[in-house]
Chains A and B, each alone.
Chain A
Amino acid sequence: MGSAPRSGRAAVAAQRRARAAEVWREFAATRSGLVGLVLLAAVFAVALLAPVLVPLETLDVTRLTAASNEPPSAAHLLGTDPSGRDVLGMLVWGARVSLLVGFAATAVSMVIGTLVGMAAGHFTGLTQAVIMRVVDFFLVVPSLVLAIVLSSVLSRGLWTIVIAIGVTSWASTARVVRSQTLSIEARPYIERARALGGGDGHILGRHVLPAVLPLVLANTTLTVGSAVIAESTLSFLGLGDPTQFSWGSMLKSALDTGAATAGFWWFVLPPGLAIVVVVLCFTLVGRALESVLNPTLRGR
C-alpha cells in the first residue's frame, strides 16, 4: 500500500519531466523564441546589476558636473538629459521598473484571469451569468482609461501602477481560460472524479487547473509585453512613481522639455527602443511557447 502510490507519483513526475524536456526542445527549435529569450536574459542581468553598473550617486542632480542636454560623448555615451543626468545610466535603472511592474502586474492579471475564467467555466446558471457579465465589461471598457482613473485616485507609487494594470488587463485571460475549462470539464475523467465524490474545489484544483496552466503560461509572456507598454504609458502621462527612473517618465520629461522638437534624439530614441526590444522579446517568446503548447497553431 505504501509504495504503490509513491511509485505512481514518481512515474507521473518522470512523465512531467519528459514532457517539459520535450517542450524545451521544441521551443529551442524555434529560432525567434530563442533569440527573444537570450535578449531578455541580458536585460534581466543589466536590471539586476544596475546598482553596480551605475551607482545611484552618479544620477544625483545635486552632484552633477555635466551640462544639460549634452550630445553623446565618451563620458556620456548617450548624452545627458535636461537636468544633466547620464541618459545611459537612467536607461539601466529604468529596466528595473519596467521588468518589475511588467511581471508583478502580469501576476495580478493572471491570478484574477485564471480564477475568474475557471469559475466562469465551472459554475452554471446565475453565478456564471453574473461572472460573464463582469468579464464582458472588463473586456470592453477601455483599459487604459480605467487604469488612468485608478492610478490617479490612488496614491502615486509603483504598486498603484501594478494594481491599475493588473486589475484592468485580466479579462482576455479569463475568456481563454473559460473556454479551456469548458472543454476539459466535458471530458470523461471529470465525470469520473465527480462520480467518486469530488467537489468543486477538488475538480477545479486537481484537474482543471493543471490542464489550463500551460495555456496561462503562454498567455503570461504575451501579457508581460503589454504590461510593460502600459507601465511606460502611465509613467509617460505622469502617473508613475516620481522617485524612480522609468523609461516612460524619461519620455515624459522629453516631451515636457520639448526635446523632440529641439532635436535631442539621444534623449528620445533610447528609452523607446528599450521598450520596443523588451516587448518584442516577450512577444517572440510568447508566440514560440504558444505554438509549442498549442499544436493547431503550427505552420501559421
Chain B
Amino acid sequence: MSVTETAAALEEERPRGSTLPRYLALKGGGALVSLAMVVVLGFFSFRVLPGDPAINMTRGRRVSAEEVERLRAEMGLDDPLPLQFLSYLGDLFRGDLGVSYVYRREVTELIAERLAPTLLLTGTAALISVVLGLWLGQKSAWRRGSLFDKTQTGLALVFWSVPTFWLGLILLLVFAGGLGWFPTGGMVTPGTDPTGLARVLDVAHHLVLPVLTMVAVVYAQYLMVMRASVLEEMTSDYLTTARAKGLREDLVRTRHAVPNALLPTVTLIFLTIGGLVGGAVTVETVFSWPGLGYLTFQGLSAPDLPLLQGTFVVFSSIVIVMNFVAELVYRVLDPRLKAS
C-alpha cells in the first residue's frame, strides 16, 4: 500500500542526531513554506484559473454590463494581478476571507461556526480507528497466516476499496431508513434545542452513523501499517533475547515488539489526517452534518468561490500544522533522534 511506502521513505530521510533547535527550524521552515504554497495556490486557483470572478459570481442571473463593471471595481479585479495578490495577502493576514456569495456573510464567521462539529466528528472517528486499527494490526501480525489474520486483512482490503459516501448511504438505508434506530442527518433533532445532558445524548445519537462510516473506511490503513510494522520487528534479535529471558509470548509482544513497531506508525497516523479531511467532506455531505465538509459541499453548487477558497485554506492549514506536530511528537518518542 502506498501509505506504507510513504512512511518508509520518510523514515529513511529523517535527519538523525541533529540538535533540537536545528530540527525545529528545519521542520518549522518546511511547514511555513507549505503554508505559503497553500496561500499562493488559493490565490492562483480562485483568482486566475476561473477566468472572471465577476462573471462567475453572477452566473445564472440576469445582470447588466454596468452591474458587472461595478462588481469588478468593487472586487479590485481591474487592478494588476500583483496588486490583487498583495491585497489578498493583506486580507488573509487580517483573517478576512471575503464574503460568501450564497450566505452573504463573512467566510471567516461561517468557518468558525462549522469548525467545532467537524473536529468532533473527525476527532472521534480518528481516535476509534487508530485504537482499533493498531490493536487488530499487531494481533494479525503476531498470528501471521492464521484465520484471524486472513479475515482481518481481507476485511481491511474490502473496506479500503469502499467509497466512504457509499458506506454512509448503506448505513442510512439500513439503520436510519429501514430500522429507524438513528436519525437520518443533522447534529441535533430539528425543532428542538436541548441543553445539558439531553443535548450531549442527542448529539451522540446523531454522531453514531457518521463516525461508524469514517471508522470503517479509515481503520483499515492503520491495521495494514501496524501489521507490516510488527512483522518488520518479528525477526529482531531482541525478541529472541526477551524469549530467552523466559518472558511469556504475550509480554514479548506487548512490552517489546509493539512499542518499537508503534514508532513508524505514529508519523503515518498524522500523515493520514489529509485523508480524514477528505472523508469528512463526503461523510458530512451524506449525513448533512453541519461541519466544514458540508459547508464545502454547499459551496460547490453555486459555485461559491470565496467560501471554497476559505475552506481550502483552512483545511490545508489544519493538515499542515498537524503534520508539523507529528514531526515533533516523533522526535519526542524516538530517543535515538534526541541530541546526543
- Residues of chain A at the chain B interface (Cβ within 8 Å): 133-134, 136-137, 139-146, 148-150, 152-154, 172-173, 175-176, 178-179, 219, 222-223, 225, 229, 232-233, 236-239, 248, 251, 254-255, 260-263, 265, 268-269, 271-272, 275-276, 279-280, 283-284, 300
Contact = CB atoms under 8 A, between A and B. Distances in A.
A142 B315 contact: yes
B282 A141 contact: no
Nearest to B275: A142
Given A145-B277, A175-B6, A176-B5, A153 B297 contact: no
B25 interface: no
B180 to A, nearest CB: 10
Contact of B169 (A140, A237, A254): A254
23 contacts: A137-B34, A140-B323, A142-B277, A144-B275, A144-B278, A145-B312, A148-B300, A152-B305, A172-B2, A172-B6, A222-B2, A233-B164, A233-B165, A236-B282, A237-B282, A237-B297, A255-B286, A260-B177, A272-B169, A275-B161, A275-B163, A280-B158, A284-B157
Interface residues of B, number: 63
Nearest 6 CB-CB pairings of A with B: A144-B278, A272-B166, A279-B161, A261-B177, A142-B274, A153-B50
B320 interface: yes
Contacts, number: 173
Interface of B: 1-3, 5-6, 8-9, 12, 30, 33-34, 37-38, 41, 45-46, 49-50, 144, 157-158, 160-167, 169-170, 172-173, 176-178, 184, 228, 231, 271, 274-275, 277-278, 281-282, 285-286, 296-297, 300-301, 303, 305, 308-309, 311-312, 315-316, 319-320, 323
Contact of A251 (B1, B144, B165, B275): B165
Contacts of B167: 272
A178 B274 contact: no
A280 B45 contact: no
A145 B184 contact: no
B270 to A, nearest CB: 9
Contacts of A276: 158, 161-163, 166
Q: Which of B33, B50, B157, B166 has the most CB of A within 10 A?
A: B166
Contacts of B170: 260, 268-269, 272
Contacts of A179: 8-9, 12
